[in-house]
């Protein structure tokens, strides 16, 4: 493998931003061209062929860009434009070499943008920054593990250390990582899910007894109506558009609920079909509800109310009485509660007209099989848990759980975030799981709950956490209140990042810091016992193997499994009866333990080798069994509350552009929204602009307003007049995390409220703006 130098990293200035018209359709030929071109340029023909054609194939690797499932019949090009970007980003032959660390101090790297950091290429050797120094320097693996182990063993309590996980980690690595952390003695296992679908887990857990999707991939094709809420599949789950197209061809209706007119929800041109290449493509949404931010709970209540009223008018014809009788509890209370629903408040909260809501209710009542999908637009709201419970209420009314073509389908983000949870990455795993660990490994795991992502920052700020270790991710950029989070991180005594590429979390560190470079999913994983595969779980609970395909980018990389195994050996001596070395040599030995510890994973080694893997059992989906305290699916009563926006203010959501993967910035365009060469933009409805006395193209400072009085501001943002719902603005994450107070979290899940920030726009003091890094704003 020949090393390539990083390209000259050019970054546009704020003056370069070009704004065109938003697109009304997604994918199509430009999607394919956009996906192939960078790969061919950066990886060369051979590496591109080996990676792109192996993606999502049964003997290939699982795409790391999102958790969208694979159909059982796969096309040769079973990837999307953004999956190709993710592969290109990881499988690039560009590497960071030893001289980089002398050339660049940590303070220098801190001034760089996420884009620049990512462009430096793959990390290839462990590096260490001793206390009091401003440079990382290469260190041998053995030494790195000793430094970390000595630090961990010097702490007054294991609870002074915290172990973060991002959702790309494989099941095997996740399982032994949580095992190591619990054997060490803490449940401090926060993960990206705390900032992502945590609201889903709680809402579904409390109502259906399982925090996961109740459908399989094939249900999309069988559905009559699919309601897509708070989700932008054209960018974040592009292969979902193929499933939606299939559903439409089978006669399904689709309703989109979103404050923004997202291209992928309007029309889709399938690049793999003739009509997608030369024709108009497929209309996706039959009805598009441009709801206000945070209005979904009110909308779901209003639709449920109409369903109940229709039943009242024609008894015995609307509700699925038998299903409710056999499987549900709490309908009486729900009915009584919704009887008093205030329609004025619904209109105010949703910004929708009564006729629009009536139309949705009529579609829902007409359909026999309904799927509701959702993502961050719902989970990252103050009332996210309650809003999702209202989705479940609506589905239960007509028995839309546990029958073909119907169900609740949260669409996960990271490609294995769901599997990581199944494997025990959670700061509050239930006693049954901890008992199984105790039985299998002969040590008593800690029982007290650990810290989630937001609590982690709070405890760092208090000084009660001293060591931070991250299995992937970029917590300091991903979490809310960037400046608060950075100050907290800098109080640490030690930070350790297990990563593929540089990011901001390597530059905002404790006294001592280490970076441990790891193999990516595209790369061949050779161990003593031969070439290893790993396994992952997608958003519809299908578990399958993932085989690396290309040569590792450097000889000195370790797999995540090897890193955890060696770290555990260095730290724990014989504290637990675990053959850590065996794990590293042969991942089957890990899977044997998974079979005995993780519910639903019995015979894991055998079932993972079946063609296409296997689907985890799911009570609601398979047999209408609900593991709630009553054994029934629960209707719930949720008090409607919508956050009022004071006059002269807007509510802002933070979201993803088409050229990023979370905190990783691939480029500066957001093709579907018409933005080129820049990310520092704020999208505002033209009528709101007129009212505020602002104009498209003007530069503004975006101030967030919060009771604590702390100044939170993004300076010099370009205003883009955009057809968003009235009163609802948008700006890109992660930059906009500067605006979100750490204390602003969803009720019941502690997820940062990333989609509802009250802001004030003020004309910028001058027209010059610093480039991309959040710290420089």
Interacting partner of 774 out of Mo ion, ligand MGD, none (Cβ under 5 to 8 A depending on kind): none
Quick one: which of 14, 51, 65, 571 contacts ligand MGD (CB under 6 A)?
Answer: 65
Quick one: which of 733, 748, 764, 772 contacts ligand MGD (CB under 6 A)?
Answer: 733
Looking at 278-286, 290-298, 342-350, 634-642, which segment touches ligand MGD (CB under 6 A)?
A: 290-298
Quick one: which of 266, 285, 478, 758 contacts ligand MGD (CB under 6 A)?
Answer: 478
3-class DSSP state for residue 40? helix
3-class DSSP state for residue 42? helix
Alpha helices, H only, 155-295 = 171-184, 198-208, 219-222, 233-236, 240-249, 263-266, 274-278
Longest Cα–Cα distance in the chain: 77
Q: Is position 655 an interface residue for ligand MGD (rule: CB under 6 A)? A: yes
Looking at 43-51, 258-266, 303-311, 333-341, which segment touches ligand MGD (CB under 6 A)?
A: 258-266
Q: Is position 754 an interface residue for ligand MGD (rule: CB under 6 A)? A: yes
Q: Is position 653 an interface residue for ligand MGD (rule: CB under 6 A)? A: yes
> Residue 450 or residue 472: which is nearer to ligand MGD going by CB?
472
Catalog residues that contact Mo ion under the rule CB under 5 A: 196, 413
Which candidate, 111, 52, 398, 68, places its Cα nearest to that of 220? Answer: 68
Sign of CA dihedral 230, 233, 235, 237: positive
Cα–chain center distance at 273? 30
Inter-residue contact 95 to 118 (CB < 8 Å): no
| Minimum distance from residue 85 beta carbon to ligand MGD (Å) | 7
CA distance 173 to 679: 34
Looking at 3-11, 348-356, 498-506, 671-679, which segment touches ligand MGD (CB under 6 A)?
A: 498-506
Quick one: which of 22, 31, 93, 413 contacts ligand MGD (CB under 6 A)?
Answer: 413
**H-helix or E-strand spanning residue 323:** helix 321-327
| Minimum distance from residue 82 beta carbon to ligand MGD (Å) | 3
Quick one: which of 70, 172, 262, 320 contacts ligand MGD (CB under 6 A)?
Answer: 262
Quick one: which of 263, 293, 349, 436 contacts ligand MGD (CB under 6 A)?
Answer: 293
Q: Is position 538 an interface residue for ligand MGD (rule: CB under 6 A)? A: no
Which candidate, 246, 254, 252, places its Cα nearest to that of 227? Answer: 254
Q: Is position 651 an interface residue for ligand MGD (rule: CB under 6 A)? A: no
| Tokens standing for residue 448 | 């007290």
- Residues with Cβ within 8 Å of 629's Cβ and at least 6 positions away in sequence, in order, are none
Residue 227 has phi, psi (to 5 degrees) of -105, 120
| Minimum distance from residue 378 beta carbon to ligand MGD (Å) | 6
Rg (CA), the chain: 25
Interacting partner of 207 out of Mo ion, ligand MGD, none (Cβ under 5 to 8 A depending on kind): none
Q: Is position 485 an interface residue for ligand MGD (rule: CB under 6 A)? A: no
Inter-residue contact 244 to 273 (CB < 8 Å): no
> Residue 237 or residue 398: which is nearer to Mo ion going by CB?
237
Q: Is position 534 an interface residue for ligand MGD (rule: CB under 6 A)? A: no
Q: How many residues bind ligand MGD (CB under 6 A)?
A: 62
Quick one: which of 22, 473, 678, 716 contacts ligand MGD (CB under 6 A)?
Answer: 473
| Minimum distance from residue 422 beta carbon to Mo ion (Å) | 16
CB atoms inside a 10 Å sphere around CB 6: 16
**H-helix or E-strand spanning residue 703:** strand 699-704
Which candidate, 542, 669, 463, 517, places its Cα nearest to that of 144? Answer: 517
Residue 472 has phi, psi (to 5 degrees) of 80, -175
CA distance 484 to 468: 16
Q: Is position 416 an interface residue for ligand MGD (rule: CB under 6 A)? A: no
CB atoms inside a 10 Å sphere around CB 578: 22
> Residue 196 or residue 558: which is nearer to Mo ion going by CB?
196
**H-helix or E-strand spanning residue 393:** helix 384-397
Looking at 17-25, 34-42, 429-437, 659-667, which segment touches ligand MGD (CB under 6 A)?
A: 659-667
CA distance 497 to 479: 16
| Minimum distance from residue 117 beta carbon to ligand MGD (Å) | 8
CA distance 88 to 51: 9
| Minimum distance from residue 190 beta carbon to ligand MGD (Å) | 10
Token pair 């002969």 is found at 442
Inter-residue contact 55 to 63 (CB < 8 Å): yes
Sign of CA dihedral 547, 552, 558, 560: negative
Interacting partner of 512 out of ligand MGD, Mo ion, none (Cβ under 5 to 8 A depending on kind): none
Quick one: which of 231, 422, 507, 773 contacts ligand MGD (CB under 6 A)?
Answer: 231
Q: Is position 34 an interface residue for ligand MGD (rule: CB under 6 A)? A: no
Quick one: which of 270, 654, 773, 777 contacts ligand MGD (CB under 6 A)?
Answer: 654
> Residue 196 or residue 578: which is nearer to Mo ion going by CB?
196
> Residue 413 or residue 545: which is nearer to ligand MGD going by CB?
413
Q: Is position 703 an interface residue for ligand MGD (rule: CB under 6 A)? A: no
Query: DSSP of 443-469, one letter per residue?
Result: S----S----HHHHHHHHHHT---EEE
3-class DSSP state for residue 27? strand
Q: Is position 755 an interface residue for ligand MGD (rule: CB under 6 A)? A: yes
> Residue 396 or residue 655: which is nearer to Mo ion going by CB?
655
CA distance 63 to 415: 7
> Residue 626 or residue 722: which is nearer to ligand MGD going by CB?
722
Interacting partner of 520 out of Mo ion, ligand MGD, none (Cβ under 5 to 8 A depending on kind): ligand MGD
| Minimum distance from residue 352 beta carbon to ligand MGD (Å) | 11
Interacting partner of 535 out of Mo ion, ligand MGD, none (Cβ under 5 to 8 A depending on kind): none
Q: Is position 454 an interface residue for ligand MGD (rule: CB under 6 A)? A: no
Q: Is position 678 an interface residue for ligand MGD (rule: CB under 6 A)? A: no
Among positions 163-182, residues that touch ligand MGD (CB under 6 A) are: 166-168
| Minimum distance from residue 238 beta carbon to ligand MGD (Å) | 8
> Residue 166 or residue 400: which is nearer to Mo ion going by CB?
166
CA distance 729 to 342: 26
Inter-residue contact 84 to 30 (CB < 8 Å): no
Among positions 85-144, residues that touch ligand MGD (CB under 6 A) are: none
Indicate the length of the chain as a whole number.
777
Pairing state of beta strands 225-229 and 161-165? unpaired
> Residue 324 or residue 655: which is nearer to ligand MGD going by CB?
655
> Residue 223 or residue 258: which is nearer to ligand MGD going by CB?
258
> Residue 231 or residue 773: which is nearer to ligand MGD going by CB?
231
3-class DSSP state for residue 676? strand
Inter-residue contact 688 to 741 (CB < 8 Å): no
Q: Is position 722 an interface residue for ligand MGD (rule: CB under 6 A)? A: no
628 class by beta-carbon count within 10 Å (0-12 exposed, 13-18 middle, 19+ buried): middle
Q: Is position 712 an interface residue for ligand MGD (rule: CB under 6 A)? A: no
Quick one: which of 361, 375, 395, 542 contacts ligand MGD (CB under 6 A)?
Answer: 375
Say whether the peptide bond before residue 734 is cis (omega within 30 degrees of 0): yes
Among positions 512-531, residues that touch ligand MGD (CB under 6 A) are: 518, 520-521
CA dist list (Å): 233 to 43, 243, 704: 27, 11, 28
Q: Is position 294 an interface residue for ligand MGD (rule: CB under 6 A)? A: yes
CB atoms inside a 10 Å sphere around CB 101: 20
The residues that touch ligand MGD, with contacts defined as CB under 6 A, are: 65-66, 82, 166-168, 192, 195-196, 229-232, 235-236, 257-260, 262, 291, 293-294, 296, 375-377, 380-381, 413-414, 471-475, 478, 498-501, 503, 518, 520-521, 560, 653-656, 660-664, 733-734, 736-737, 740, 754-755
């Amino acid at each position: 493998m020949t090393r390539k130098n990083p390209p000259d990293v050019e970054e546009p200035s704020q003056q370069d931003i070009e704004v065109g018209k938003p697109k009304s359709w997604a994918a199509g030929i430009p999607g394919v061209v956009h996906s192939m071109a960078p790969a061919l340029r950066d990886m060369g023909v051979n590496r591109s062929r080996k990676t792109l054609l192996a993606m999502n194939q049964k003997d290939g690797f699982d795409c790391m860009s999102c958790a969208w499932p694979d159909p059982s019949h796969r096309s040769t090009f079973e990837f999307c434009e953004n999956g190709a970007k993710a592969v290109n980003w990881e499988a690039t032959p560009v590497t960071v070499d030893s001289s980089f660390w002398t050339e660049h101090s940590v303070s220098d790297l801190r001034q760089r943008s996420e884009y620049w950091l990512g462009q430096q290429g793959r990390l290839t050797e462990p590096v260490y920054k001793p206390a009091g120094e401003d440079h990382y320097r290469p260190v041998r693996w053995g030494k790195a593990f000793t430094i970390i182990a000595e630090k961990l063993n010097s702490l007054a309590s294991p609870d002074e250390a915290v172990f973060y996980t991002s959702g790309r980690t494989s099941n095997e690595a996740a399982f032994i990582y949580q095992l190591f952390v619990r054997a060490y003695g803490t449940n401090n296992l926060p993960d990206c899910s705390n900032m992502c679908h945590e609201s889903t887990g709680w809402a579904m857990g409390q109502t259906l007894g399982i925090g996961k999707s109740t459908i399989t991939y094939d249900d999309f094709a069988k559905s009559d109506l699919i309601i897509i809420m708070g989700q932008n599949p054209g960018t974040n789950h592009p292969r979902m558009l193929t499933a939606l197209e299939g559903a439409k061809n089978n006669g399904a209706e689709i309703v989109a609920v979103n404050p923004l007119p997202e291209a992928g929800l309007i029309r889709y041109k399938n690049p793999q079909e003739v009509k997608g290449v030369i024709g108009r493509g497929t209309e996706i949404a039959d009805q598009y509800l441009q709801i206000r931010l945070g209005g979904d709970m009110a909308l779901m209540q209003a639709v449920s109310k109409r369903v109940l009223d229709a039943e009242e008018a024609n008894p015995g014809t609307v509700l699925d009485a038998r299903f409710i009788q056999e499987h549900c509890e709490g309908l009486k209370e729900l009915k009584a509660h919704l009887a008093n629903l205030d329609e004025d408040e619904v209109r105010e909260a949703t910004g929708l007209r009564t006729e629009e809501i009536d139309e949705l209710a009529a579609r829902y009542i007409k359909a026999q099989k309904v799927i509701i999908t959702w993502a961050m637009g719902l989970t990252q709201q103050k009332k996210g848990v309650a809003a999702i419970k209202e989705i479940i209420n609506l589905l239960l009314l007509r028995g839309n759980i546990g029958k073909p073509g119907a169900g609740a389908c949260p669409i996960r983000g990271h490609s294995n975030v769901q599997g990581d949870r199944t494997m025990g990455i959670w700061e509050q795993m239930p006693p049954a799981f901890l008992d199984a660990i105790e039985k299998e490994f002969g040590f008593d795991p800690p029982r007290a709950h650990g810290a989630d992502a937001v609590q982690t920052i709070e405890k760092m700020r208090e000084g009660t956490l001293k060591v931070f270790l991250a299995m992937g991710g970029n917590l300091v950029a991903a979490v809310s209140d960037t400046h608060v989070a950075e100050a907290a991180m800098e109080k640490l005594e030690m930070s350790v990042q297990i990563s593929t590429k540089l990011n901001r979390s390597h530059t905002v560190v404790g006294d001592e810091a280490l970076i441990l470079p790891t193999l990516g999913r595209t790369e061949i994983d050779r161990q003593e016992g031969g070439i290893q595969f790993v396994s992952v779980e997608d958003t519809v609970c299908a578990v399958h193997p993932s085989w690396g395909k290309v040569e590792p980018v450097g000889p000195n990389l370790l797999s995540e499994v090897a890193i955890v195994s060696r770290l555990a050996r260095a730290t724990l001596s014989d504290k637990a009866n675990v053959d850590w070395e065996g794990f590293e040599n042969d991942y089957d030995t890990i899977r044997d333990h998974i079979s005995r510890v993780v519910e639903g994973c019995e015979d894991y080694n055998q079932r993972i080798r079946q063609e296409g893997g296997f689907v985890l059992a799911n009570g609601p989906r398979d047999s209408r069994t609900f593991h709630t305290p009553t054994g029934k699916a629960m209707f719930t009563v949720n008090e409607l509350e919508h956050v009022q926006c004071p006059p002269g203010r807007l509510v802002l959501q933070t979201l993803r552009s088409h050229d990023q993967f979370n905190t990783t910035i691939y480029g500066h365009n957001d093709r579907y929204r018409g933005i080129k060469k820049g990310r520092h933009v704020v999208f505002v409805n033209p009528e709101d602009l007129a009212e505020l006395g602002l104009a498209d193209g003007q530069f503004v400072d975006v101030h967030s307003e919060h009771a604590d009085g702390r100044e939170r501001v993004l300076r010099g943002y370009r205003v883009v007049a955009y057809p968003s719902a009235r009163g609802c603005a948008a700006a890109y994450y992660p930059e906009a995390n500067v605006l979100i107070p750490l204390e602003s979290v969803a009720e019941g899940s502690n997820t940062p409220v990333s989609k509802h920030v009250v802001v004030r726009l003020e004309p910028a003091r001058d027209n010059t703006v610093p480039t991309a890094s959040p710290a420089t704003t």
